[in-house]
Amino acid sequence: MARWKALPEELDPQIGEFTRQLRRLVDQGGLSVAALADRTGYSRTSWERYLNGRLLAPKGAVVALAEVTGTSPVHLTTMWELAERAWSRAELRHDRTMEQIRITHARAELGDFGGGTSTTTVDAPPVTPPSAEPPAGRRRVLLFLAGAVAVLVVLGTVFLLTGRGDGEGAPEAKSPSPSVTSAAGLPPGVKCVGVGCTGKDAEAMGCSGDLVTTARTATVGAATLEVRYSRTCGAAWGRITGAAPGDRVRVTADGESERGEAVAGETYTYTPMVAVGRAGEAEACVTLVSGRTGCTK
């Protein structure tokens, strides 16, 4: 039985070649996935995802693999940079597809809503003088009034949704901010969006994996510092790899700050998330136990 599973057919060729290179190094080093996890500080589950093309390995993991296998990291990190660009392009295409799906669903919902309004208006019978047919006339008047009320309710709703009201009602018609954005219409497994993600764990909320990219990176001492960004969740977080116990990393965005600390025995950690409108709004900084500090640019 082959050791490795076939890579996904839809995987970008650049990412596929990079993943196969990682596999060759692991095979040449005679390493099991468990041994690889133990010697690099990255979990077994993470390495299984990296080596099966389901998640792009972070730069810190690539450098750690080079060290474990006695390989020069220069060529490997160059391949990683090319794969990272390909991965970002794939994520952008995915985001655009999901955005188009959400727009289509929204238009469908509005179309159904408008259809109901049109039916109510057309089916409303004309007013007949009560004196002509007293019982039937009263019924027609009641039906007409009910239809008129329904039309007024619909018009009021449309004004609120489209922001065409004025005066004191105008602020209420603005587009929703991230703080009131819900997770409706998001990919399966994603549990938060915008401010709803602030202070929460990216993996637990389904914002990592295929939905994340590295927005910024910096090297501080032996550690690699990254700003991780999920456009789907509208959130970012800081991550440090190659860390020493006690190293601290934090991420800031629009004055909000969350901090995570490396735990003894681990070589990486990441912060809780902060809400951002775009990747460039977030900055990650690290303070090493040696006293050295640094931030992403």
Between 44-51 and 33-40, two packed helices, what is the crossing angle to 10 degrees?
120
User: What band does 291 get if pLDDT is binned at 50, 70 and 90?
Assistant: confident
Of residues 25, 83, 30, the one with CA closest to residue 55: 83
User: What band does 80 get if pLDDT is binned at 50, 70 and 90?
Assistant: very high
DSSP string, 251-291: EEETTEEEEEEPPTT-SEEEPPPEE-SSGGG-EEEEE-TTS
What's the average model confidence in pLDDT over 148-154?
62
Residue 22 pLDDT more than 60? yes
How do residues 220-245 score in pLDDT, each as one tens digit? 887 888 888 998 898 898 888 777 77
b/e map 281-290, b = 16+ CB within 10 Å: bbbbbbbbee
CA–CA distance, 65 with 70 (Å, rounded to integer): 8
- Give this prediction's pTM: 0.43
Do 251 and 227 contact (CB within 8 A), yes or no?
Answer: yes
Give strand ranges (E) for 134-262.
213-220, 223-230, 235-241, 248-253, 256-261
Q: What is the pLDDT of residue 27?
A: 92
Residue 128 pLDDT more than 50? no
Between 33-40 and 59-69, two packed helices, what is the crossing angle to 10 degrees?
110
